[in-house]
């Protein structure tokens, strides 16, 4: 779960959709660290308390969302995983500098890195700001349904799909844009 769940209106919708659910391991994706001067750093720290792992745990507790293990790595850990799994490909590194991968792609990368699964299925993924449970308020704010992460996500999952050969999708748009094989009902 990303730190912005407790910060943005769309995150509030997502949290509500999680009410009463549970998982074994919850991975917390913090905001990336940025170099700031002392004063700017202190102001940022105070503003970002609502995006802390502590606050997310509190909000999940209020929603009766259960987990057994809460993993809180620095953002750089996830960033390095993406780059390593993509073999430090120059095209991907350049794209990641423009915009980081979405939480959905980070989730796929975590699964690939754990090497516990034989097949990965990308489902409910569209490169848009849509949610199946509510209208995402970020669409009206930004004036577009296209995710800012779309180009990076397409580049990363396309590369990972070719490299590993065990990533499939149920979504025609993901197949068309990233070249991921459609899951067949066999």
The tens place of each residue's pLDDT in the chain, 186 residues long, gives: 888 777 666 667 778 888 999 999 999 988 776 655 666 655 656 667 777 899 999 999 999 999 999 999 998 999 999 999 999 999 999 999 999 998 889 999 999 999 899 999 999 888 765 655 555 556 566 666 666 888 999 999 999 999 999 999 998 989 999 999 998 776
What is residue 128's DSSP assignment? B
At 69 the pLDDT is 97
The two three-digit tokens of residue 118, written as one number: 């034989």
In 3D space, the residue among 118, 119, 30 whose CA is nearest the CA of residue 79 turns out to be: 30
Please give the pLDDT value at position 155.
Answer: 96
Phi/psi for 72 (5° steps) reads -125, 90
Distance separating alpha carbons of residues 116 and 100, to the nearest angstrom: 25
Q: Are 75 and 30 in contact (CB under 8 A)?
A: yes
Report the candidate in 152, 143, 138, 176 with the shortest Cα–Cα distance to residue 4: 138
| Beta pairing partners, 72 | 28
pLDDT of residue 18: 87
CA distance 20 to 66: 7
Name the pTM for this structure: 0.80
């Amino acid at each position: 779960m990303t730190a912005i769940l407790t910060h943005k209106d769309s995150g509030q919708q997502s949290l509500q959709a999680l009410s009463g659910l549970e998982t074994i391991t919850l991975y917390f994706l913090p905001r990336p660290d940025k170099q700031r001067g002392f004063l700017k750093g202190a102001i940022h720290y105070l503003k970002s308390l609502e995006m802390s792992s502590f606050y997310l745990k509190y909000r999940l507790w209020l929603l009766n969302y259960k987990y057994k293990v809460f993993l809180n790595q620095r953002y750089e850990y996830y960033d390095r995983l993406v780059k390593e799994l993509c073999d430090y490909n120059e095209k991907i590194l350049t794209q990641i500098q423009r915009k980081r991968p979405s939480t959905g792609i980070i989730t796929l990368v975590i699964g690939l890195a754990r090497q516990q699964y034989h097949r990965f299925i990308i489902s409910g993924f569209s490169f848009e700001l849509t949610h199946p449970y509510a209208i995402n308020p970020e669409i009206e704010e930004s004036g577009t349904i296209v995710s800012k992460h779309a180009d990076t996500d397409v580049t990363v999952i396309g590369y990972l799909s070719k490299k590993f050969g065990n990533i499939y999708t149920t979504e025609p748009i993901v197949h068309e844009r990233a070249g991921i094989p459609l899951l067949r009902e066999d």
